[in-house]
Structure 1
Amino acid sequence: MSNSYIYGTGEDDLLYGTGGNDKAYGSSGNDIIEGKGGDDELYGNGGNDTIKGEEGDDTVLGHPGDDSIEGNAGDDKLYGGDGDDLVSGGEGNDMQTGGGGNDTIEGGEGDDKLYGGPDDDLIKGEDGQDKLYGNDGNDAMEGGADDDTVLGHAGDDSIEGNAGDDKLYGGDGDDLVSGGEGNDMQTGGGGNDTIEGGEGDDKLYGGPDDDLIKGEDGQDKLYGNDGNDAMEGGADDDTVLGHAGDDSIEGNAGDDKLYGGDGDDLVSGGEGNDMQTGGGGNDTIEGGEGDDKLYGGPDDDLIKGEDGQDELYGNDGNDAMEGGADDDTVLGHAGDDSIEGNAGDDLLSGDSGDDVVSGGEGEDILYGGAGNDELYGGDDNDTIDDGGGDDILEGNTGNDILRGRGGQDELIGGDGDDLIISYSDAGEPEIAQQTNESKVYPDQPFFEANDTLTGGSGADTFLFRPLMNAKPEIIEKHNMHNMHQDMHNMNLHKQIAGENGSVHDHWVDSIGDDIILDFNRSEGDKIEIKGHTVKVEKIEELDDGSGSIVHLISDQGANGGAHHLDKLGTITVYGDLVTESDLIADIFGDGAGMG
């Protein structure tokens, strides 16, 4: 076949190639140009032309006018030029561009490269692994059936990956980037973008502005950036990282991992067993349904377990923490925290800081930790332990156990048959060995703190424990001959000395001057004093007759001991006058009874 040159007349011409490698030039009219076989060059020039490359690797230029260009078979190069053009690649691996105007560019079959122009274009990859490039306009771009790469560039673009594992880039502007089917990688770029993963396990990246990022179906990974992003995980097990900015994060269904990052974030788990952390900033963390693990950050967070058996962990800030409907574990850590168990049998701990801990419904365990805490039980049978510091413990209704340890505590049982325990108030002693006396003393005074105990209605037990467990490094054993202690060559795990040759693992300590405000014998109240070397020395009546004073000492036995006849403090009891029959104690002194 010969290679022909074909020219239009200026009218609306019909130009056909010969089957060779032809060159056809339209003119100012609305021409129809078909290359037929061969590698043709077809030029529309002016007018609204219809140009078809047919078979062969063709080059087609529409030039001005609203042209319709089809590459058909072969690896074609198709240029729309100015005007609102339709550029269709057909079969083969084509390169297509619309040029100026609002163009429609369709890749067809094959692995095509499609380029939009400066205006608002519709670019569709269709079959094959295509690459689509938008430009300055507000483009609508669709990837097609295979693994495509789509770049929106400037403008407010709408990008859809459709089927295949696609790479989708919004570029500048407020873009909509939808993955469709497949495992896609999507990013919005600059502007306030909406990024939707669709089906498949997608990776979604926000840009520097305020984005809406939605994982939808599949196990997705969502990454925010510097803006205030709204992020939603979707139906499966997702990972969401908010990064900087004040973000709103929702896990929705699935067992999700949610990280707020810097900024004041809202992190909501939704359904599933989620792991959630707010990161820096004053965050709100809500577990939703499922058994969740919720972690506060270094600032002041609001952490809510909601449904499920949740674990809530505060951090360095002054956190507000709420357990929710089931059996939760809430640990405040550092800071002055406010902790509420709500429903369920909860384990609540303030840890360090001056905390307020409320059990709510259920049989709860409350632990104050270090600091001056307020601990409040609820309607059921709670166990409350202050852990040290000057604390307020209140059982409220139910048969509660209250433990006041070191510090000046106020213990209030409330309604129900409560057990109220006042432990020794001294800290851990350091030993000063005495070589010429019959006793071994600490080398600093005991710290004494005076507790106040109120039973409330019901049969309450007021329990006093002047013994504290000994650290192993305190004393080895008693020497029966010279009453001295050998602080060296210790072979018996370093325990406390007692009488004779026996070894005891306790240190006798003062409880201070404690007070019981409402002793009522008719309700079944009783006072119990624990410790096998603790002795009730005597019971005195107050001068005004409003109560009694119980005096405690340490009795180490006939041969004496490390703390024989030490004063262990007093218990002032208001209400009914105390007699020996009201006391449950290991031993009484000769002076027990009314003074």
Structure 2
Amino acid sequence: MTKETEKAEEAPSQNLLAPIATLGNDNDGYFGAGFGIDNTIISGNGNDTNNTIFGGSDRLNTGSGEDSAITGAGDDIIDVGAGDDFVFGGAGNDMVDGGDGNDLILGEDLLDQSTGDDLIRAGAGNDFVDAGNGNDTVYGGAGFDRISGDDGADQLYGEGDSDVLTGAQGDDFVSGGDGDDVVLGFEDNDRVYGDNGNDIVVGGSGNDSVYGGRGNDTLIGFDIFVAPQPLSLPGEIDVLTGGAGDDTFVLGGQLPGGVKALFYTDSNPNSAGLGDYALITDFIAGDTIQLTDSASNYFLGAAPAGLPSGTAIFTNNGSTPDLIGIVEGVTPDQLNLANANQFVFLPPPSAGDGTLAPIATIGLDNDGFFGAGFGVDNIINAGSGSDTVNTIFGGNDVINTGNGEDSAITGAGNDIINTGDGTDFVLGGAGNDIIDGGAGNDFLFGEDSAGNAGNDQIWGGAGNDFIDAGGADDIVYGGAGFDRISGDTGADQLYGEGDSDVLTGAEGNDLVSGGDGDDAVLGFGDNDLVYGDNGNDTVVGGAGNDQVYGGAGHDTLIGFDIFVVPQPLSLPGEVDTLTGGSGDDTFVLGGLLPGGVKAQFYTDSNPNSAGLGDYALITDFSQNNSEKLDKDKIQLIGSAANYSLRALSSGAGIYVNDGSSPDLIGIVAGVPVDQLSLTNTSQFVFI
């Protein structure tokens, strides 16, 4: 059976939800009849709000418009039609059709820990879908979708365009579909497909089957986000199948926080590691295997007896070599560790464990509050307990939920929301909102699914928080814990504060600060100020003229957008300033892009251009600091022969030997050219 045939037989019917006759007027508000009562609500076109949170097996059809549908326990059928919609499915086996538009669809487990097997079709648009617990099936449709399952055996399909899919707990089936996707299985024994496009496909913990499909894919078998020590679990055997295209099989690499580690080794010098390895099934010309350190740390041989036949990759680990991979169907004489077309090596591992804590789910509510009406100002003090507060009709609201597992959803208006301690969910809506999540693992959204922007101030508090500030000029403080913070359009100020965080500024001239911990800090679009601060950070400026600061620690600094890369690999006039700070830092002027493509940055690919308008300015390379002598490094691609160094009035220029006119890609400020050498491995590293 082919892979395509197998997937087609497993996929459930693609039929959409049955249509319901249209009733009601535009811009309607409906509240369910009572506890456990079955409701049929057909609100017609317009911006509607349907709330049946008390339960029952409900049928909701909102028609087109910017709609909100919130249900409780029961097997519900929800069709929100075209428009940017918000759906809260509640407990039970729900069927949700998001229709066209940018939808936010949340399964039952964000407010109720009971299980439901949901069927969700997000439809066309850029959708955010969290299916929750249970054996769920999700179809993303066309558009950039972010889809996640939770506990249960889920089937997640990204379908059209580039998507991000995460399976979480359970034996999941995850398929990226068309586009350049990021596909993650996470826990348990998953089947993970990149399908068409240049995909990043990650199996996670457990015995996973990872398929790249068509395109230049990057395949990773284990969990790179919550990495155990050692870096595989006993008995973990992952099957990696690249498919058509030039694929990269990752057996070692960089974990969050900049920690570099070799995978599938149990760190036991007396163990042969025969129970944990990656099985590469279709290694062909154009494919590469990624490892850490250098070729001298490994050797090749025939696969041990009783295992799949092919070439085994061993690491020199004490008295007993450790098996980390088998290249099936390929004999040892067909592979060579010194062949750069077959193997690529990253620098040796650095200190630290790179562990990132997972996020807990949100719990059950005790009290329910619904706002008084359209535009009415509400003051709601819910007290302690797990509460649900909904003032989506608007008004300048003050909401205090107290401690507990709370949910607060507001509409238009300048709202003040304090959820207290506990794992909370907040959807701020339009207006200039002030949100304080308090202690606990919180999900905080500054605006609603319709994209209604406001200048929000958000405090995550202690805990592992997910914060999306939305559009406009927002200020976000993550607090202690592993936080994931993102802005959107607007000039945002994002502060990770304590512990290891992931921060993304998105569009606008942003200030993004990692704070303490090993952070990933990204500015993305426009002209950003991006700070790693304390810790071993990865700091990315993105598109625009960015100022990138590593701060204290061993940092990796990148000036441009490595995720949505224009051709050429810089924009006209893009000049990024890179300042490493204290510690041994790496300044990246070329590297490996998603999909395994190597690229030189800050070159316009014009053989007649000197590239004087687009380059990276490195301000504090180690040569200008006696305490850091030969500590910092500059990363390039290819070899020293592809570059030249020239004296400039401001320091040393790094040029790509590109046709008749060498192309400037970097300036090392304050360092005479005679103090640098492209062949000095303490100063330059090539991949």
TM range (shorter): 0.3 to 0.5
Question: Which protein has greater RCO, CA pairs closer than 8 Å, 6+ apart?
Answer: 2
Query: TM-score under structure 2 normalisation?
Result: 0.40
Larger Rg: 1
